Structure 1
């Protein structure tokens, strides 16, 4: 009598176990490395939590500098001192935490010496990352299967390849900005970038992007000198991105449908935003670089939608002349305002940039603080408008809080975000001429226009409609939820296929 053959499933099971094949039951294990500025760290933290909620094991890597500042600012919560994800892990998610040097001493002033900081990220950081990744790969259970790194890093595909990991690129800005960088070769070829006499007419040849004026492109694409360290980083990063296995983008399919569809012809591009803390409340993971002021009592004392919130983000500096015009413009209005003036907003060397006597002149209707929990402030009913630099996190948070924007872009993607906010979505207005200087008269006029109940009504209505798009994307069958599911499915398939190929090749 012939022996009954083994079922195929048993053969596969025995083969995978005997060859140390990754068990399909093992969760994917990703090393996630956040770019060391707050605007990138915040969505990276929440992406880690989102992926862990989808069954991933995450090893989250912060730079020692960011960790030092964050744990100092959170000093009142001693259990967060060394492990910023302690509270999240208590809830049952497997997120491990570690740090790496960015190549500079922790005490080095990265705000004051931005050029040296960027040089270190370009030339030195990768060696420290490689050493850390080697250690994590060697010691981790379950085995590491992918590297998730910010798109602006210049080394991910090289390090992923070295350790046989899949490379997932995390893009923290709109798809429009990604597309313009991705197609820099077309901009060069057509004379809109990196030429002696750059064209001033609209750019109308980028796939999936409707005509855009050069003044609305990112600041780095408007500059004549392209030899700067930031340009070197951008060029190298967007060369790297062509080797990425996947791109996750903190945007929403319905906000940028044509741009995202066109990109998907080039790269596996998944719009999974908005990436927020669960319930859109202050995160259990400390991310603040400065001690947060509690403004609740002051805001509680103000009428509904009567307060203008002002913040220029965590990184970019404001010219002192512009800051003075904004302050003097506020003096010409009667609007209540809450102004976040971080210690280095002009420079680490200028700690008192406001006009003499300004704080006394606005006492009662104005509150000036060094930092706050932006989510807590924006969701307070007293907030009626947001004077913003148009960072992408701030833009998405403002939409979710149904707060229209007064736009004052300063650098990089903020000019392109401003175009989306003012020209495309009509959920805000410009503080002044987007290309020129601002005056106190313009500042005053536009603050009054946004904050006035009658003239500001159209922006409030538009931002409410925009919020519905974000909400729908995060519903059970919403585009961002489905895109995350497709990403996880495709990633697992690729992990298994990659290991099967290695086994066949005898690796």
Structure 2
């Protein structure tokens, strides 16, 4: 029988656990809203630290803040049956997770699952009517779902290609491309659904020889758990990764349901930003169409001061107008002002530096003509949707593999150097090429085509919408909904 206590008679219940990193918070929040809109009672479980940071970014009291209040107010109770629970990630709320990354990851590896289990035992009234929807990178979902007798839906926030590579890491190890002192450098041709990929295009953690780090332990354990998932949802589009998705569907029920954006590709009704967003609209309104280079390296990874200075030199030398998001901890929490001395004075009148912004609003603005990005998957999808070509400087994890998709497969961006080997002259040349050259025109035409693919997939009869409909029907049957 479907769960009464979770939000109404006959409703299946989805418990959605948020992975506590900005790039994961955004898509999982909007997935939760989609589930509510399709008749699920939804309990969103967030960490106290993310909730606290999100509330403070808005200037409100975390103890009094209901993140879903505005969304509920704008919808009927039937379509916005969303509860909200907070849980400790195992560390004090005020702990600097950016500066102490390994301790943060260690808490997620060891302490977090017990706290989540306590919440689940309280909110799961009818196990047969309940599903657990969590980020694939958690290390406990399949085990916990089995223990409680509930269905496990693994939500993958990155491309299917990356899920596939992690899922088949045993093949990379067996063939000597990973997990040995001197990995092979030849082309990888044996991963199901991936005709060929170069070792330098693998995720950063699969390019490392030391596989004992806390992040490696998380990845290995998370994908052990992923094998126990009943369903996998992926924030991608089938037409962009057809062979990879086909190979994964041979393994288990795998649904491509992307791109997952806020409604209308605008500022979300539910706050998902962990930093206060600067309003850049007046400055952007004053700039000519297509003239602004937007620069952001995302919410998580760091750059070195030397890399930042080389990029800043190239930006200045290019003469381009720019809007640069300079996260306060982009180099380190201990170095809040890492730009070169004199940079601000040299760029007066053509540049704006802000600590954070609403990225979908900026990318959608007519004055923005290029995006110098770390290639996080949210940023890639948002840039394509906005029709903005990319200059790719990946920093960590999936971003190197995302660059392959952007540059090699879709041809909607260009590479800029690499970690430790990025230089002012190349940055200047690449910016000039994208913002004012023939190359930029070709990239813009290519982006239009990929954008059309995303739009078609997201349309009512598109592949992603059909896939989501199939998933909802299957999950509703399984969880005994009406």
Provide the rounded CA distance (Å) in 2 between the counterparts of 1:58 and 1:396: 26
* Contact persistence 2:201–2:401 (CA under 8 A): yes
Match of residue 409, structure 2, among 419, 424, 433: 424
Alpha carbons of structure 1 residues 143 and 382: separation in structure 2 relative to 1, 3 Å: same
Provide the rounded CA distance (Å) in 2 between the counterparts of 1:382 and 1:252: 28
Provide the rounded CA distance (Å) in 2 between the counterparts of 1:464 and 1:182: 32
Highest CA radius of gyration, 1 or 2?
1
Deviation (angstroms), 1:23: 13
Tell me the secondary structure at the aligned position of residue 49 of structure 2. Answer: helix
Q: Are positions 1:396 and 2:381 aligned together?
A: yes
Tell me the secondary structure at the aligned position of residue 180 of structure 2. Answer: coil
Provide the rounded CA distance (Å) in 2 between the counterparts of 1:302 and 1:443: 22
Runs of 4+ in structure 1 off by over 3 angstroms are 22-25, 78-81
Deviation (angstroms), 1:143: 7.9
Alpha carbons of structure 1 residues 80 and 117: separation in structure 2 relative to 1, 3 Å: closer
* Contact persistence 1:174–1:249 (CA under 8 A): yes
Match of residue 71, structure 1, among 55, 64, 70: 55
* Contact persistence 1:332–1:444 (CA under 8 A): yes
Q: Are positions 1:232 and 2:197 aligned together?
A: no
User: Who is 1:292 aligned against?
Assistant: 277
Provide the rounded CA distance (Å) in 2 between the counterparts of 1:99 and 1:144: 22
1:44-443 alignment to 2 at 5 Å? Answer: 44-75=28-59, 81-90=64-73, 91-92=75-76, 93-138=80-125, 145-432=130-417, 434=418, 437-443=421-427
Match of residue 481, structure 1, among 460, 465, 468: 465
Provide the rounded CA distance (Å) in 2 between the counterparts of 1:266 and 1:242: 9
Deviation (angstroms), 1:144: 5.3
User: Who is 2:454 aligned against?
Assistant: 470
* Contact persistence 2:12–2:480 (CA under 8 A): no
Alpha carbons of structure 1 residues 36 and 285: separation in structure 2 relative to 1, 3 Å: same
1:33-60 Cα offsets, whole Å, 9 max, x none, are: 0110000000001101111111111101
1:75-109 Cα offsets, whole Å, 9 max, x none, are: 26x79952101111121211111111000000000
Alpha carbons of structure 1 residues 303 and 388: separation in structure 2 relative to 1, 3 Å: same
User: Who is 1:10 aligned against?
Assistant: none
* Contact persistence 1:386–1:404 (CA under 8 A): yes
1:189-247 Cα offsets, whole Å, 9 max, x none, are: 11100012210001100011120000000000000000000000000000001111000
1:397-427 Cα offsets, whole Å, 9 max, x none, are: 0000000000000000000000000010000
Counting matched residue pairs gives 475
Provide the rounded CA distance (Å) in 2 between the counterparts of 1:278 and 1:27: 24
How large is the RMSD of aligned CA atoms in angstroms?
Answer: 2.0
Provide the rounded CA distance (Å) in 2 between the counterparts of 1:277 and 1:242: 29
User: Who is 2:476 aligned against?
Assistant: 492
* Contact persistence 1:70–1:287 (CA under 8 A): yes
Tell me the secondary structure at the aligned position of residue 279 of structure 1. Answer: helix
Structure 2 runs not aligned, ≥5 long? none
* Contact persistence 1:31–1:144 (CA under 8 A): no
Deviation (angstroms), 1:494: 2.6
1:112-133 Cα offsets, whole Å, 9 max, x none, are: 0000000000010011001111
* Contact persistence 1:88–1:95 (CA under 8 A): no
Deviation (angstroms), 1:488: 1.1
Deviation (angstroms), 1:436: 5.3
Provide the rounded CA distance (Å) in 1 between the counterparts of 2:64 and 2:51: 9
Provide the rounded CA distance (Å) in 1 between the counterparts of 2:7 and 2:369: 53
1:340-388 Cα offsets, whole Å, 9 max, x none, are: 0010000000011011111011011010000000011000000000000
Provide the rounded CA distance (Å) in 2 between the counterparts of 1:373 and 1:143: 40
Tell me the secondary structure at the aligned position of residue 61 of structure 1. Answer: strand
Deviation (angstroms), 1:454: 3.0
Alpha carbons of structure 1 residues 80 and 417: separation in structure 2 relative to 1, 3 Å: farther
* Contact persistence 2:193–2:246 (CA under 8 A): yes
Deviation (angstroms), 1:455: 2.8
Structure 1 runs not aligned, ≥5 long? 1-15, 498-507
Alpha carbons of structure 1 residues 288 and 435: separation in structure 2 relative to 1, 3 Å: closer
* Contact persistence 1:74–1:80 (CA under 8 A): no
